[in-house]
Amino acid sequence: METRSQWGTRAGFILAAIGSAVGLGNIWRFPAVAYENGGGAFFIPYLFALLTAGIPILIMEFTMGHKYRGSGPLTYKKMNKKTEFIGWWAVFVAFIISTYYSVIIAWAISYAIFSVNLSWGSDTEGFLFKDYLNNTVDAGQIGSMVPGVLLPLIAVWAIVLFILYRGVKKGIEIANRIFIPLLAFIFLIIVVRAITLPGALEGLQAFFQPDFSSILSGEVWVAAYGQIFFSLSIAFAIMITYSSYLPEKSDITNNAFITGFGNSSFELLAGIGVFSVLGFMATQSGVAVDEVVSDGVGLAFVVFPAIINEFPGLNGLFGFLFFASLVLAGVTSLLSLTETYVAGLSDKFKISRGKSVLFGGGLAAIVSLLYATQGGLYFLDTVDYFINQFGVALLGLVEVILVAWILRLVKNLRDHADAISDIKLGWWFPLSINVITPVVLGYMLYDLFRLNMMKLFDTPTGNYSGYPDAFILYAGWFVAAGALVIGLLLSIPKWRSVSEASHSSAKKEAK
């Protein structure tokens, strides 16, 4: 008898999966990655990576969650009792990311308010780091709390934990049914306005101009696979958890294709919007587009405010819409990240959903306060780099090798997906999971460790100029390694019940 919480509709699941995949990185990372790796030509390796890594791993994780009916830890335990720790490792990686991801959403809330009267002034860089973040301490020092970050951070967690407390169908599904269409609508307005700006065509030409010689470079292909891997929310136990709430009859393969192409479509839309605006800025400044290209925090909170200052008419409204889109994209992703450990705690310790939200989400909210301090930016920058580059990439490689080479479950998972899906999986699925993805991820990790461990950059601390070695050690390497260690520790306690432990929350939702 099915007692696990379930999605109300198929559309609810797809919107939630797309909401998890579409996040801040789609808006501020993808456009720069594409531009720096061949422009229009980058879409060739990008599409190849989507079809040989992104969608196959989505299908694999959707099938794992649907077949074994559990959160990440419970799914891995059902696959093999000795592999439960990998599920907890994935859950704790998601936990770490959620602690600082929430803070960036808080910044976006503040900037949505600032945009109304352009409170950031003309020196947008100085405003961000000095006036808003009050980043006046050295790396490794915490300093005092920053009220301007703390208050919206509290609001972020209040919204997210309330939605999660409401459950899968009445909370996460309803939220994504509202947030994702709203995000698409707002961002479409942004893009339409952006492409009508003076200089927009120059920006789009720079973005789409193909450099076909670049696709002969291995680094470009690694960048394509890296973008697909990090943007689809795979290897966080998110998609395993979400698919565990699917009903028995669910089109796994079709859902994966819709999610994968939905995420990539938004990335393309973001690229058009961002480079139209960058083309406008270049025209206004009288410089080439490549001189204004940026990504990450700098693009969103320094470059864009500077561009908004120069907007012809209704610049405050445009700014508000842009930062509102960051908030919506961030919240839907934060919901999925937090749900991984809420579900894991509920499954393992057979506690109510309310308690798992309070313990798991409450602890994440408390930890996130570290990033709302004067020295929070240094911690955020370092933890984000190490947990994403080493925690996620290594976790993904371990996951694929375990499923494909050790447990040899690829055929089993393919048969399960084929039995309930309209699109049947052919030879490309086992080839992707058994060969292509492990090879690419292995090379990515080798390259990352080579650059970081051997310190090939000529700076006092290797890759991190100005950051003390001790700080990089405990805020970077220790955090990345700690996710694995805590995963091992959480797998030690016995399960209070090997059956689906979330039946109490399912009954609550059914009332």
Please say if the pLDDT value at position 485 is more than 80.
yes
Q: 118-131, pLDDT tens digit by residue?
A: 999 999 999 999 99
Work out the pLDDT band at 377, boundaries 50, 70, 90.
very high
pTM of the model: 0.93
Q: Exposure pattern of 470-507 as b/e (b: 16+ CB <10 Å)?
A: ebbeebbeebbeebbebbeebbeeebeeeebbbbbbbe
Q: What's the pLDDT at 102?
A: 98
Q: 247-288, pLDDT tens digit by residue?
A: 999 999 999 999 999 999 999 999 999 999 999 999 999 999
Q: 200-242, pLDDT tens digit by residue?
A: 999 999 999 999 999 888 889 988 988 998 899 998 899 999 9
Q: How far apart are CA 86 and CA 2, in angstroms?
A: 26
Q: 47-56, pLDDT tens digit by residue?
A: 999 999 999 9
Q: How far apart are CA 23 and CA 274, in angstroms?
A: 15
Domain boundaries, the chain: 10-501
Work out the pLDDT band at 502, boundaries 50, 70, 90.
very low
Q: 17-29, pLDDT tens digit by residue?
A: 999 999 998 998 8
Q: 167-195, pLDDT tens digit by residue?
A: 999 999 999 999 999 999 999 999 999 99
Q: Give me the architecture of the 10-501 domain, per CATH.
A: Up-down Bundle (1.20)
Q: What's the pLDDT at 194?
A: 95
Q: How many Cβ atoms are within 10 Å of 192's Cβ, its own excluded?
A: 11
Q: What's the pLDDT at 459?
A: 40
Residue of 280 and 298 predicted with greater confidence: 280
Nearest to 242 by CA among 183, 171, 159, 327: 171
Q: How far apart are CA 162 and CA 153, in angstroms?
A: 14
How is 475-495 classified by DSSP, letter by letter? Answer: IIIHHHHHHHHHHHHHTSSPP
Q: What's the pLDDT at 506?
A: 47
Q: What's the pLDDT at 466?
A: 65
Q: Which of 78-82, 276-280, 428-432, 438-442 has the lowest mean pLDDT?
A: 438-442
Q: What's the pLDDT at 314?
A: 86
- The mean pLDDT value of the chain amounts to 91
Q: Which two tokens stand for residue 389?
A: 């580059």
Q: How far apart are CA 103 and CA 126, in angstroms?
A: 19
Work out the pLDDT band at 312, boundaries 50, 70, 90.
confident
Q: Spell out the residues 6+ positions from residue 1 whose beta carbon is closer than 8 angstroms to its own.
A: none
